[in-house]
């Protein structure tokens, strides 16, 4: 009884801190505080859980906490911010695996007679295992794609969508049957294996261009699995935390789809990311040849500019160029140049990727301007400096119908007086189509590694 007097207040405070933390994560200025509040809430939730009278021994709990703390510390200290999308994928996967294992354990622990009298719990256990299993393997495939261990190109075959839908319906039918007839454990374990396989089947057909939506969706599934675990264990704080995580991930997925002018169904079943182009689009030739410039010429353009808008993209993240970009921006500002950063909602490989990287480089928050707010400024901007961005500033989205990015809101970098694009080559972005910006008459290509080019530009400006 005395334990409950401590557990319930701890859970209540933790739940409030989770809500406040998510609220603060909605803004770059308050994100650090939000992360701290949520971390304190998780600490209180763990402490409250450890006070439960049902715990008969702490040995394995302590072992698990030590291992988990070491793994978490290693990831936090040694994993670079440029690898944040991969880290998020791993964390989503591990959360799904935890729910998956708890569901299996609960089903194994209870008798068929128990589930005959607790049909709701049987259903929740089924959904917990289904969501946890597909989240784990789906997140691992997302990690492999983000890491480049497997191709980011969609892996498809004839009739794949029909097979995936039928697979999902069959798993749901098995759960429905087990709710009515829980005396056939072999069906539960068949569904368990199917859930693990479904995660692979679910993510393989999704291309690299849709990784921000995939990560948000997997985060939602992980949260829903955690909420189901809360119902299974009768743990209120886990229900609240899982519901918050699941709903925020879902709404974030919707926002990401709107930012790409796509539907959830199109993202999940459209296989965007294959190297195909609509008629009339080329990477040069018909539309002109790229104008290549040297570092010295690019530095001269920047020196003569009164206003510069930097457009960061995944290439900047891959090159680890964010610190060099900030140094370059600081030099320009010291010479009286106005510098801003144009942030596209789906730039990079996860929601908020550019905000995270630039915050890591100590770029002032007020210099990060969202797409809708910064686009009207481009016609009066002297130089738009595109750092490894591709699809998010491709005029094809506005000008050519029938492409994978048709109608997607983009950064209007092409409307600046001059555009400098720092990129290794003329290769297309994740959507697999050439970028007309690269051959526009006001665009100048500075070919090379993003970090090296930014450093050389800074050195040239500093002379």
219/200 Cα distance (integer angstroms): 16
Partner residues linked to 423 by β-bridges: 447
In a domain, 73, yes or no: yes
In a domain, 90, yes or no: yes
* Secondary structure E strands in 271-414: 307-312, 338-343, 368-370, 383-387
Q: Are residues 449 and 320 in the same domain?
A: yes
Q: Residue 418, SS3?
A: strand
- Strand order through the sheet with 307-312: 368-370, 338-343, 307-312, 383-387, 418-423, 443-447
Mean pLDDT of 431-454: 91
Residue 386 makes CB contacts below 8 A (sequence gap 6+) with: 311, 313, 393, 413, 419, 420, 421, 422, 423, 437
CB contact at 8 A, 434 and 282:
yes
Q: Are residues 268 and 170 in the same domain?
A: yes
By annotation, the residues acting in catalysis are 391
Give the residue from 244, 274, 304 where a domain finishes: 274
Structure tokens given for 463:
């002379």
Q: Are residues 289 and 437 in the same domain?
A: yes
343/367 Cα distance (integer angstroms): 10
Only one residue has tokens 């479904």, namely 198
CA distances to 17, 230, 238 from 244, rounded to whole Å, are 12, 13, 10
Q: Are residues 36 and 133 in the same domain?
A: no
DSSP string, 18-30: HHHHHHHTTSTTT
252/182 Cα distance (integer angstroms): 36
In a domain, 279, yes or no: no
How does pLDDT run across 207-221, given as a tens digit for each residue? 766 777 788 888 888
pLDDT at 353: 82
432/166 Cα distance (integer angstroms): 29
In a domain, 374, yes or no: yes
Owning domain of residue 366: 285-461
Q: Are residues 35 and 98 in the same domain?
A: no
In 51-83, which residue ranges form alpha helices assigned H by DSSP? 59-78
Whether residue 153 is predicted with pLDDT greater than 80 in this model: the reply is no
Structural domains of the chain, count: 3
390/408 Cα distance (integer angstroms): 13
For a pLDDT cut of 90, what percent of the chain falls above it?
A: 41
Q: Report DSSP state, residue 432.
A: -
Q: Are residues 147 and 132 in the same domain?
A: yes
Give the residue from 16, 48, 78 where a domain finishes: 78
Structure tokens given for 246:
């699941």
pLDDT at 267: 65
The mean predicted confidence, pLDDT, of the chain is: 85
Mean pLDDT of 193-217: 84
The mean-pLDDT minimum among 94-103, 168-177, 230-239, 325-334 falls in 230-239
205/138 Cα distance (integer angstroms): 11
pLDDT band at 309 (very low <50, low <70, confident <90, very high): very high
Q: Are residues 314 and 417 in the same domain?
A: yes
350/84 Cα distance (integer angstroms): 8
In a domain, 101, yes or no: yes
pTM score, two decimals? 0.77
In a domain, 333, yes or no: yes
Q: Are residues 68 and 94 in the same domain?
A: no
CA distances to 337, 343, 362, 388 from 355, rounded to whole Å, are 22, 8, 10, 15
Q: Are residues 181 and 305 in the same domain?
A: no
Q: Are residues 306 and 449 in the same domain?
A: yes
In a domain, 280, yes or no: no
Partner residues linked to 422 by β-bridges: 387, 446
Whether residue 169 is predicted with pLDDT greater than 90 in this model: the reply is yes
pLDDT at 193: 96
Give the residue from 78, 104, 139 where a domain finishes: 78
How does pLDDT run across 394-430, given as a tens digit for each residue? 998 887 777 777 788 899 999 999 999 999 888 887 7
pLDDT at 328: 94
In a domain, 136, yes or no: yes
Q: Are residues 270 and 125 in the same domain?
A: yes
Q: Are residues 106 and 206 in the same domain?
A: yes
Provide the CB-side half-sphere exposure for 417 (13 A, CA). Answer: 11
- Please name which of 67, 229, 209, 206 lies closest in space to residue 139, comparing C-alpha atoms: 206
70/387 Cα distance (integer angstroms): 35
- Residue 446 belongs to domain with CATH number: 3.40.50.1220
């Amino acid at each position: 009884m005395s334990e409950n007097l401590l557990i319930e207040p701890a859970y209540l405070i933790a739940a409030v801190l989770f809500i406040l933390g998510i609220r603060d994560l909605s803004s770059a200025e308050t994100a650090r505080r939000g992360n701290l509040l949520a971390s304190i809430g998780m600490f209180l939730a763990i402490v409250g859980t450890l006070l439960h009278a049902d715990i008969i021994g702490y040995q394995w709990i302590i072992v698990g906490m030590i291992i988990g703390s070491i793994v978490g510390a290693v990831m936090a200290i040694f994993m670079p911010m440029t690898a944040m999308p991969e880290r998020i994928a791993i964390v989503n996967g591990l959360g799904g695996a935890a729910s998956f294992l708890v569901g299996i354990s609960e089903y194994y622990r209870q008798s068929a007679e128990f589930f005959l009298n607790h049909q709701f719990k049987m259903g929740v256990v089924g959904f917990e295992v289904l969501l946890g299993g597909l989240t784990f393997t789906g997140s691992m495939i997302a990690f492999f794609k983000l890491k480049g261990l497997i191709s980011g190109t969609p892996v498809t075959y004839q009739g794949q969508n029909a097979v995936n839908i039928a697979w999902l319906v069959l798993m749901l039918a098995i759960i429905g049957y087990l709710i009515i007839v829980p005396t056939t454990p072999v069906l539960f374990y068949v569904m368990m294996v199917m859930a693990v396989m479904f995660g692979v089947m679910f993510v393989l057909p999704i291309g690299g261009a849709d990784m921000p939506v995939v990560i948000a969706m997997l985060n939602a599934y992980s949260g829903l699995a955690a909420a189901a675990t809360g119902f299974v264990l009768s743990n209120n704080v886990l229900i609240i935390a899982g519901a918050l995580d699941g709903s925020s991930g879902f709404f974030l997925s919707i926002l990401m789809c709107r930012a790409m002018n796509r539907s959830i169904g199109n993202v999940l079943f459209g296989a965007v990311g294959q190297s195909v182009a609509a008629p009339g689009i080329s990477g040069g030739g018909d539309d002109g040849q790229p104008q290549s410039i040297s570092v010295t010429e690019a530095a001269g353009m920047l020196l003569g500019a009164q206003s510069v808008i930097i457009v960061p993209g995944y290439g900047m993240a891959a090159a680890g160029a964010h610190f060099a970009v900030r140094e370059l921006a600081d030099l320009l500002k010291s010479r009286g140049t106005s510098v801003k950063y144009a942030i596209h909602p789906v730039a990079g490989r996860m929601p908020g990727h550019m905000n995270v990287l630039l915050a890591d480089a100590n770029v002032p928050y007020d210099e990060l301007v969202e797409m809708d707010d910064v686009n009207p400024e481009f016609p009066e901007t002297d130089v738009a400096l595109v750092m490894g961005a591709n699809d998010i500033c491709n005029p094809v989205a506005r000008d050519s119908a029938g492409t994978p990015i048709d109608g997607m809101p983009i950064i209007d970098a092409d409307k600046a007086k001059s555009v400098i694009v720092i990129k290794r080559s003329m290769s297309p972005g994740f959507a697999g189509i050439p970028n007309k910006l690269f051959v526009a008459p006001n665009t100048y290509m500075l070919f090379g590694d993003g970090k090296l080019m930014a450093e050389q530009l800074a050195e040239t400006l500093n002379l």
